[in-house]
Each structure stands twice: as structure tokens, then as C-alpha cells.
Structure 1
Amino acid sequence: MNKQLLSSTGLILAVILFIAFIIVVNGNFKSARVDLTEDKLYTLSEGSLNILSSLQQPITLRFYYSEQVAQALPSLKAYAQRVQELLMEYQRASDGMVQVKIINPRPFSDHEQRAQQYGLQSIPIEGETDPLFFGVAGTNILDGLERIRFFQPEMEDVLEYDLTRLIYQLSDVQRKNVAVMSSLPIDGEGYDPLKGQLDAEGGAKPWAVMGKLREMFNVSMLPEDIRRIPSSIDLLMVVHPKELPQQTLYAIDQYVLRGGKLITFVDPYAEIDVPERDPENPMAAMVANRSSNMPELLTAWGVERDASDIVADRKTARQVDFGARSNNQPIEYVLWNALAEENMNQDERITSKLRQINVATAGRFKVLDNATTEITPLLSSSNEAMLVDKRVVQFRNDPVALLTRYEGGTISYPLAVRIQGQSRSAFPDGARGDGRDLVKMPDHIDEAVDGIDVIAIADVDLLDDRFWVIMQDFYGQDLAFNTSNNIDFVHNAIEELTGTEGLISVRSRTGFSRPFVRVEALQREAERLYRAKERELENKLQETRQRIARMQVDRNVTGEEISTPEQQKEIAEFRAIADRTELELRAVKGNLRKDIDQLEGLVKFINIGLIPIIVAILALITGWLRVRKRSRGRFQS
């Protein structure tokens, strides 16, 4: 009886202790986290923590979420929990400087009206009478307002960056002044940045990169014939400088020597620079100049952008469909490249954590022997790249021929470089003005005050929308989905040059794709063999048709062609060649599929079958050891 009472009392005490333990843990260890993901996706990055610790004024984040409406969307409900948990993590890490309010905006309530006033997006849900709110509005004590109109589940990989950027924009940080100079309509035509819209219909919209820059910096445009760069400019960005006047180059020279920061994009063949077509002279567009350079300045700084070479790299080539030119199938276009982590300098903060940067018909830089500056490559091709004369691309661009005739080299070419150190003026006697006389600034300097700091990129197209972003309309709102880290590279470069901590470490966490590298290698090898044989077949087909065309063709009274024995023999031989080549092509494709299937089966076995088998074996071994130990104890007793 006593034993039964003690057992019951012990059970009750155990339950009470367990409940007390849960209460204590929930009350005192709410912030405890164990993040087992490779990139620590559920842990705030060092950059976010630095921004939170530097806040000088309180910020309020109002999370508007229609919980009842979201019950019909399980995936969105799970994502909303992720957003809410991350918001609470910001509040805990900010030491009270960030206050999070969770608000359910019921229909016709003050909260719904306030959410609409903040500019948050509500969307209708099929089967529900009430709209769904799922966004956040941030405010500071100065009535500043920033918002995320609607959290897109497809953009979960940039969730921390978007929230940290919102807090950063609400903080009292002093924005840097960035000036842009370009021969391209990068800021649109007739676009008013103050209104955020076009003044007239039919004008070109600004490139997406300009909108992204304006989110973080004070951006202004400078004319190409400017005589002096204002000293208030923290950084100058020169995009596609085509035949700039000498006085403009002189102004840039003096700005850099005085300590101004510069990022320049120069290109041997800019895809985005599409010349206007002249119906009366179709060749004019083909021979039009699509290159840009600043040879005087670059030479003075110790580098040279080769004027004629384009870098082709099969190892980083992107899949592009050229329609009939590639048999309506995507092929590896060796002039359009997706640079991976191994193509980026991992010792530089600008590029160390980026995943992919897309470039197109990029050039290369050469370091001059007499350079007095330190040249640091930021982006480079693989060591299997080759050089292609830009005239090949300009006049007879054949993507299939480029691929089949590709001959990989052993040299890695710098595509983007950082130039630092002492440098002298490229215009020691001044520049020629409109009167063609040399004109010298009153405060002209011959040598850098504290050394120069310049970043030069041998590609303009990486700024083009199609190489880094997809714009989608979401209930009247333009949403940008990044497909590469091109804009992150530009942002990082600006922040690094201007000495702004900014969001470099947060930005580098965006994008968490895990490609099957081995499968991609198998596909590239099979693609090489397939395209080579396909090209061989096409050449044989063309040659045979030419031989047949040169042969005599007779016709009977009805107009039907009469094939001679020679023609019939020729056609039969060609058909035999075509049949054999077709079989070889099928064999190549079959081997590709076979190798990929084998690799896929191995991966599935390791992920699905191997671990359970190991656990089962360990369980059997453990059970056997216990039985053995028990049997041994009985034997000894």
C-alpha cells in the first residue's frame, strides 16, 4: 500500500515538475535558438545586429496580418509565422529600440483604414469575403515611413535583407550622395525622380538599378559635358562612357585625384546599346560603335581595357535559346556568363559572399608594367576562358559556331578590378576646351592627395534589367525578383568605397540555391559532344545540297524532276551519313541521361535509404551488445 502511494505521489510530482520546467523555459529562454541550417538562415546576421546596435532613435514596426483569412492558405500561414518570429527576433536584439506590434486589420476597423493609409497591399482571396493584409509599416519619431506592402513567399530568401533595409532607411544614418553619368537612358526619358513617374507618355522607364540605388542613396544625374564634378558628390558612377569630351575626362581625373570615389562600367560590345535602324542603310546599325572606354584615365591609373577582345568562357556559359539559330533549343552561349563564387575575390568584402553575377560580352583588363597603383581583381573568368575578336560578334555572331569551335585556354582574365594607390594626372597640362586650347583648372593638382580608389568593370550589360531582375505586376504594384547578385555587387561596391557599413553582410545572404554541380558538368560535356556532331551533320547537309545543285537536273514533259543515277547515289550516301549521325546523337543523349540517372539514384539512396540503414544497423549492434552483456551477467551469476 505504501509503495503504491509512493508511486502515485512520485508520478504526480513528476508531472508538476515537468509543467514547472516548461513554464520556466518559456519564461526565461524565449530567445534561445538552435539554427542548424548551413547559412544560419534563421539567425540575424552580423550586419543586422550592427545596424540594430547603432540605432539612435526608436522605430516601430506594425505587422498587419489577416490571420482569419490566411487560414485557407496553409503555406502562406507558415510563412507568416516565419515573418512574425523574425520580427520578434529584431525586437529582442535591438534592446528596446525596435518595437513590434502585431495587428489584425479586421474589415471596416480603424486598423484596416490605417493599413490602407500606410500604403499596404490587400489582395482578394478566392472563397473569402475579406481581403488579406500581409505587410509591415515602419515609422520613426520623425514621422518617417517605410513599408513592405506585401510579403511574397517567393522572396523568403531576401526576407532578412528587406527588413534590415527598412530599419536602416528609418534610422538617422546620413545617406551618401551618388552621381550617375551615362550615354545610355539609364534614368529613363522624361522621368521625374521627385514624382517617381514619367512626365509624358511614351518615354522610357528608368532601369531597375536606378530604383534600387535611390532606395539607399541620394542619386543625381550629371551631364556628359560637365566641366567639374561637385565636391559634394561622395561617389561618381560612370556608365558606358562613349567618346566623352576631353574636358569631362579631365573633370573626372581631378575629382578622383582629390579623393573622390569612382565606379566606371566600360564595355567592348554593350548588348544594351542597340543603335537605331536606318531603313535606307541597314548596315549602319551593324557598324555602329557599341563600345565604351576611358583609355587616358585607365592608363594613368595603371590598367588597360583591351579594345578588341571579348572574353568567352564555356565553364560559366549561360543557357540561351536563339530560336532557329540553335534549333529552338537552349545552348551554352559562351559570351554570356554566370559568374560563380570561384570567379569572385573571396578576400574582398565587395564580392566575398555573393553567389552569382551575370555578365554579357564582357571585356578584360590588363595591368600595365609601369603601374604605380595596386590592382586587385574583383571578378574574373575561369582559367579555361578564351578571347574572341569583337568583330566576330558584331558582324557574324553564330552561337553554335562559337560553342563548337571553342578552345579553352589556361588563363583567368580580370573582368572587374579595384585600383588603389598613388597616381598622377592624365592631363598634366589641362584639357582642350571648345576653342581647342588647353584649359587648366585654377586648383589643378598633378598627383593624388591620399591615393585613388576606383573600381572598373569591363561590362555594362550587368546593369541591364534582363540580366539580374524580373519585374512582375502584383495588383498594380511592380515587384522585382532578383535572379542574380548584380545589384548587390553595385551596392556593395558603393558602400565599400564610401566607407559605409550599410548592408554588405546582410545582402550577401540573399539567394540560397544549391545547384547539382556534378549533374551540370555532365550536361555540359554531353552538350559539347552533341553540338559538335550536330554542327558536323549540318555542314555535311549543306555540302551535299551544294553538290546536288551543281549537278544536271532533267525534267520530263509534266515538269517532274528526273534524278540521274549520280544524284540518286549522292542522296543515298547522304541519307546513310545522316542516319549514322542521328544514331550517334541518340547515343550521346542516352549516355547523358544514363549518367544523370545513375547519379540521381545514388543521391536518392544516400538521402533516403542510407541513413535509415545506418540507424537500423546501429540499433541491431546496440541490441546485440545488450543481449550479450545480459547473457554474460547471467552466466557469471
Structure 2
Amino acid sequence: LDEAVTVTVYFTEGLPSGIDRMRVEMKEMLIEYGKISDGMVVFKFVNPNESAELEQEAVNSGVPMQMINVREKDQETQKKVAMGAVIQVGEQKEIIPWLPQAAMEYSLSTLIKKLSVKDKPVLGLLQGHGEAQINQLVQAYGLLSIMYEVEPFWLNDTADVMSKYSTVLVIAPKDSVPQSHFNQLDNFLAQGKKMFVALNRVDGSFQTQQATDLNTGFETWLTGKGISMERNLVIDNSCAQVSVQQQMGGMTINSAVQFPYIPVVTKFAEHPITTGLEGVILQFASA
């Protein structure tokens, strides 16, 4: 770290042990961060329930007070609490309004990294063949922008527009890709650079209840690299629900039914990238 990181944790004290354990774990984590950063991570804990002024300070900082149910002396009561943090580097700050139980270390480390990185690597988002645009990737863009700059680019036959990227993203192309563009992608990979391809082999439609082949050329290009995708749809009992209209007694009602063409993956190998991940929904996926 080149600049000091200040973490202010707004956490109500005196909560039941199951909840207060988060406060203890957060404190231990920040002590460890301070050690491994040679004192560049400093922190303080504030109990906003001590006074109206501290409560207002928490709220003004972006950490809201919320009502939760707690059991005290064999009775369940409601208590107004805060369980959030503010991370600041210089004039910049990030807020965790409500500390997550499952991935607290990941959330904190990610925001410290986001505030500390000066020159972010640039990822190229391929466009021009019906690919997804940045405004269609709000959640992914938000997460990627923590560590990277993401910018769209278009291939042409006159300039090496990919030279400044170490990684290129190809997400859901729909139109055919000319061979000259595949040649440029081959040259990009030959330089030891990386590429992420998210390809739909079949285009499924809720409106028409039909699926059609998508032939962009990527399927053949990937096959030549030992990666094959069949013209099929994966179905699974572990799936998302969709809303359908049904007629009952002369009335139209909306019912939620299981839809096996939208599998939900819930089991993952142990890896930092899947820490805290509960599930991934795959809409009309191919094998």
C-alpha cells in the first residue's frame, strides 16, 4: 500500500454472541491487516448506540441503523443496530452498509484494493458481432471495475486495436464473425495473452417457446482449439422458477413453476473465486 487505509467500523455492542462474533472476527482481521501492511491499515470501532451523535455519524457516513430481532432473557425483542464499515484512502471512500457474514474478508479486501490501485489493467470488450454491451452487463461491470478498466473495442483490418489489452472478453456474440477477425484473435492468443469467451450455442426464447441454433463461427473456431459445444440445451432438476399464466375457474392466475431449462449450479470446488457464492443461474445453457 502506498497510502494509509482507514477503516471505521460502526458495530453495535452487547448483541447476542452469535452476532457479536462478527465484530470480534472483524477486529481480529483488521489487526492482521495492520500487521501484514506494516501499519498502513488503521482502524477504529464505533458503537453508534452509545449516543445520538454517534448514531447520526454512522448514518451520515452511509451505515444505516436497522431493526433486528434478538433474544434476551428468553424473550425476543427488536433492537436498532449498525453493522457496517467505511473504508477510506485519502479523499476516496467506500462503504459496506451491512457486513456480510459469509464473505466479510473478501468484501473488505476487495474495497481496499479498489481504493488503492492506481493504474488498473484494461480489459477489452469485443463488439461488432452482436455481443453484449457494457450497459447490459451492469453487475459484471461493477465487479470488474474494482480491479480493471473495461472498454469496448471493434476489430478492423487496418490497425492492431488489441495491442493494449492483456485480456479480451467475448460475451454472447450473435452475428457471424469474418475469418479476418478470427485471424486477429489467433494472433492475440499467440502473444501469450488471454481471452474469456461466453458463447450461446442455442438461442432460447420465452416468448416463442422455441430454441434456434446460433452460428457465429466461434463454435468452429473453439473446436479447432479443443473446446466443443453441442447444439443442445442442458436441463436439470435443480433449476429456477418462471411465472406462467393458468386458467382456474374462469380466472387467470400467475403461478411459479420449475423450469429445468434454467439450471441453478449450487456446488462449487473450493477456490477464492467461489468463496461466498451461493448459486449461478444458467439460462438456456449448452454442454
Q: TM-score, normalised on structure 1?
A: 0.35
Pair 1:332–1:242, CA change in 2 (3 A): closer
RMSD: 4.4
Task: Name the SS of the counterpart of 1:221 in structure 2.
Answer: strand
Q: 2 CA distance for matches of 1:62 and 1:349?
A: 26
Task: Name the SS of the counterpart of 1:232 in structure 2.
Answer: coil
Pair 1:175–1:162, CA change in 2 (3 A): same
Paired residues of 2:242 and 2:259 also in contact (CA < 8 A): no
Gaps of 5+ in 2: 70-76, 246-254
Q: Identify which of 97, 115, 133 aligns with 2:82.
A: 133
Paired residues of 1:270 and 1:291 also in contact (CA < 8 A): no
Q: 1 CA distance for matches of 2:280 and 2:68?
A: 37
Aligned to 2:186: 253
Q: 2 CA distance for matches of 1:359 and 1:243?
A: 21
1:211 shift after superposition:
1.6
Aligned to 2:139: 208
1:267 shift after superposition:
2.0
Q: 2 CA distance for matches of 1:358 and 1:256?
A: 29
Pair 1:113–1:331, CA change in 2 (3 A): closer
Query: Does 2:102 correspond to 1:102?
Result: no
Pair 1:333–1:302, CA change in 2 (3 A): closer
Pair 1:294–1:319, CA change in 2 (3 A): closer
Paired residues of 1:229 and 1:252 also in contact (CA < 8 A): no
Q: 2 CA distance for matches of 1:299 and 1:139?
A: 48
1:238 shift after superposition:
0.4
User: Percent of aligned positions with the same letter in both sequences?
Assistant: 19
Paired residues of 1:57 and 1:172 also in contact (CA < 8 A): no
1:288 shift after superposition:
5.5
Paired residues of 1:178 and 1:237 also in contact (CA < 8 A): yes
1:243 shift after superposition:
2.1
Alignment length, in residue pairs?
A: 266
Q: Normalized per residue, which structure has more strand?
A: 2
Q: Deviations over 1:43-62 (max 9, x none)?
A: xxxxxxxxxxxx44432211
Task: Name the SS of the counterpart of 1:61 in structure 2.
Answer: strand
Q: Identify which of 182, 196, 201 aligns with 1:263.
A: 196
Matches within 5 A, 1:125-524: 132-140=81-89, 142-151=90-99, 155-172=100-117, 174-181=119-126, 183=130, 185-188=132-135, 206-223=137-154, 228-246=160-178, 247-271=180-204, 274=205, 286=210, 293-295=217-219, 297-306=221-230, 308-311=231-234, 317-321=237-241, 333=260, 336=263, 338=265, 340-341=267-268, 358-364=281-287
Q: 1 CA distance for matches of 2:276 and 2:186?
A: 32
Pair 1:139–1:303, CA change in 2 (3 A): same
1:96 shift after superposition:
2.2
Pair 1:92–1:287, CA change in 2 (3 A): closer
Paired residues of 1:60 and 1:138 also in contact (CA < 8 A): yes
Larger C-alpha radius of gyration, 1 or 2? 1
Paired residues of 2:83 and 2:97 also in contact (CA < 8 A): yes
Q: TM-score, normalised on structure 2?
A: 0.69
Paired residues of 2:117 and 2:147 also in contact (CA < 8 A): no
Q: Deviations over 1:502-559 (max 9, x none)?
A: xxxxxxxxxxxxxxxxxxxxxxxxxxxxxxxxxxxxxxxxxxxxxxxxxxxxxxxxxx
Query: What one-letter code is carried by the residue in structure 1 that aligns with 2:64?
Result: Q
Q: 2 CA distance for matches of 1:264 and 1:334?
A: 21
Task: Name the SS of the counterpart of 1:188 in structure 2.
Answer: helix
Query: What one-letter code is carried by the residue in structure 2 that aligns with 1:219?
Result: V
Pair 1:116–1:168, CA change in 2 (3 A): same
Paired residues of 2:263 and 2:283 also in contact (CA < 8 A): yes
1:93 shift after superposition:
4.6
Q: 2 CA distance for matches of 1:171 and 1:351?
A: 23
Aligned to 2:26: 83
Q: 1 CA distance for matches of 2:23 and 2:163?
A: 46
Q: Normalized per residue, which structure has more helix?
A: 1
